[in-house]
Structure 1
Amino acid sequence: MGVVNVTPDSFSDGGRFIGFQAAMAHAKQLVADGADVLDIGGESTRPGAHPVTIDEEISRVVPLINALWNEVDVPISIDTLKPEVAEEAFKAGASVWNDVSALGYSPDSLGIAARSDADIVLMHMQGEPRTMQSSPWYEDVVAEVESYLLERAQAAVGAGIAPERIWIDPGIGFGKTLDHNLALIRATDRLASHGFPVLMAASRKRFIAALEEREGIEPAPPEDRLGGTVAVHLHALKNGAAMVRVHDVRAMKQAMRVVQALG
């Protein structure tokens, strides 16, 4: 899954693809590099991010999705927690809803998801983007995230969403410390054991630099976290993840190709 952030403030590439032409060119390049899905987002969910209006988010993503639907041969995902945005994205051609709130942001989310034919990615987040990294705490992070995701999956099924349309994502970096993130990545096989495909989305995230800080090394900025990104995602794929969400599609596909060739 290739990331297309049509935002001015995303943690890694905010502002680079806010213009329509830049976003189109980037999305097409990701497909050329081997992306199997394009994930289009119009609102940053980085730590400390502030929300944007529904109309602003729609204006950022819907024209792009509509244009891409006519020009690329891969599914398009809308990365939003707002059901109004998802509904407009479906009309424009999106067939996946990647929701950091696991369809919990609005009372309308479950119904709109159920009425669509879209696959649904349910992600775990403790708190909300503006404050989620203030003081994340769990008694048992793996058990609590696992329980939450299964509860949200059952709520989705209860609302009429077919189980085979449901994916789960442990939400790396969304209300988690370094050790929480590492524990969840180690537990990929446990999360995958429940029958819902797991999306692992750790690309360029802060915990990679936090590992360097822990060792007294100058922490890498987001654009220099490719090595850690590839390591996490290869580990996750080996242990049952069904898809990885990345900024650097070509490098990730190259790494996967080599691992597959080595058996």
Structure 2
Amino acid sequence: MLKLGRGEFDDTALLVMAIVNRTRDSFYDNGATWEEERALDRVRQVVAEGADLVDIGGVKAGPGEVVDAAEEIRRTAPFVAKVRAEFPDLVVSVDTWRADVAEEVVAAGADVLNDAWGGHDPRLAEVAAATGTAIVCTHTNGAVPRTPPHRPSYDDVVASAIHDTVALAERALSLGVDRRSILIDPAHDFDKNTWHSLELTRRLDEMAATGWPVLVSLSNKDFVGETLDRPVGERVVGTLAATAVSAWHGAQVYRVHEVAETRQVLDMVASIKGDRPPARVVRGLA
């Protein structure tokens, strides 16, 4: 059983986490949801399309506009409160590496802390433990937040991802975070080149075999673009292919831009695996 704040999900459930950026310079939507009402419209849209949770971010992952903790709080905490008021049962995640931000967004109603920079601020896990919040533990190989990879090298990238994320998960558990509320994320593209991200996808079953639920953030990333030689706006098909492979290998949560398409892929994989019945069966039965 996976427990994400007010949400509880079976181990076989494949969950769609919809990205909602409160930034002016996001790599994919170029600030389309910077304005609060547009961001709320995005939440309404993804909920209607079948998102199980939303992930709200106030800082672009890569280099760009400088955003200090106070500004990140301003972008995220009041918005979390508005989402919570309109969707009282929706699981709300916030993408942050800062404990100070974590405290404010949890107070506003967040259920999950998506620590996308791998424990850079060790107090973030302490906030999760103190507040009963779920946490995502990611593999960034110790990279400084918002820095692009520069010739990353691994003897075995999968072994490194497992070692680091499991260590972060076990620390969170030792601090008092509910075991059902801890996820691990190999963090495709974060201090990795395309070969690394492809290998992580190909061997994702090894991460799933740790017993910790796995979250993947594949959506329109550079490893997809480089593999298929496609610009940001033409990576959906490649993303969905990687999504299907990840689902077959046991990932449980998918952080995405395209919710409806991802939902269909995950439902199809779940049905092939035997975890979900077809929506209808009439062929050959008349």
- Asked if the contact 1:40–1:61 (Cα under 8 Å) also holds between the matched residues in 2, the reply is yes
**1:158 equivalent in alignment to 2:174:** yes
Contact 1:7 1:18 in 2 (8 A): yes
Quote how far apart the aligned CAs of 1:107 are. Answer: 4.0
Match of 2:164 in 1: 148
Contact 1:50–1:129 under 8 Å retained in 2: no
User: Which residue of the partner structure matches residue 74 of structure 1?
Assistant: 90
Residue matched to 1:187: 203
Q: How far off its partner does 1:108 sit?
A: 2.2
8 Å contact from structure 1 (residues 81, 99) kept in 2: yes
The letter of the residue matching 1:105 is H
C-alpha contact 1:5 1:14 (8 A) present in aligned 2: no
Match of 1:216 in 2: none
Corresponding residue for residue 215 of structure 1:
none
Q: Distance in 2 between matches of 1:56 and 1:112?
A: 19
Shift of 1:261: 4.9
Are the aligned partners of 1:169 and 1:198 in contact in 2 as well (CA < 8 Å)?
Answer: yes
Query: What is the percentage of aligned positions where both structures have the same residue?
Result: 36
Would the alpha carbon gap of residues 190 and 107 (structure 1) be closer, same or farther in structure 2, given more than 3 Å must change? closer
**1:173-212 mapped onto 2 (5 Å cutoff):** 173-212=189-228
Counterpart amino acid of residue 255 in structure 2: R
Match of 2:238 in 1: 228
Within the candidate set 242, 255, 260, 1:250 is matched to 260
1:62 to 57, 74, 77: 77
- Superposed displacement of residue 260, structure 1: 4.3
Listed as ranges, the gaps of 5+ residues in structure 2 are 1-16, 275-286
Distance of 1:98 and 1:51 partners within structure 2: 20
Note if 1:114 corresponds to 2:116: no
- My pick for the range that moved more, 114-123 or 132-141, is 132-141
The residue identity in structure 2 corresponding to 1:57 is E
One-letter code aligned to 2:217: A
Aligned pair count reads 255
Kindly state the Cα deviation for residue 259 of structure 1 after the two structures are TM-superposed.
4.0
Q: Structure 2: how far apart are the matches of 1:50 and 1:166?
A: 30
Query: 1 CA distance for matches of 2:45 and 2:66?
Result: 28
Residue 62 of structure 1: how far off its partner (Å): 1.2
User: What is the TM-score normalised by the length of structure 2?
Assistant: 0.85
Q: Determine if contact 2:248/2:269 at 8 Å carries over to the other structure.
A: no
Distance 1:14 1:134 in 2: 24
> TM-score, normalising length from structure 1?
0.92
TM-superposed CA distance for 1:258, in Å, is 3.7
User: For the residues of structure 2 that align with 1:258 and 1:195, how far apart are their CA atoms?
Assistant: 23
Q: State whether structure 2 residue 131 is matched by structure 1 residue 132.
A: no
Give me the whole-angstrom Cα distance separating, in 2, the residues matched to 1:260 and 1:111: 35
RMSD across aligned positions (CA): 1.5
* Conserved 8 A contact 2:125-2:135: no
- For structure 1, the 5+ residue unaligned runs are 213-218
Letter in 2 for 1:93: G
Distance across 1 between alignment mates of 2:135 and 2:125? 10
Code of the residue aligned with 2:144 in structure 1: it is E
Question: What residue in structure 2 maps to residue 52 of structure 1?
Answer: 67
1:239 partner amino acid:
H
Counterpart AA for 1:9: D
Quote the offset at 1:164 in angstroms.
1.6
Decide which moves more: 154-163 or 84-93.
Answer: 154-163
Greater mean alpha carbon deviation, residues 6-15 or residues 90-99: 6-15
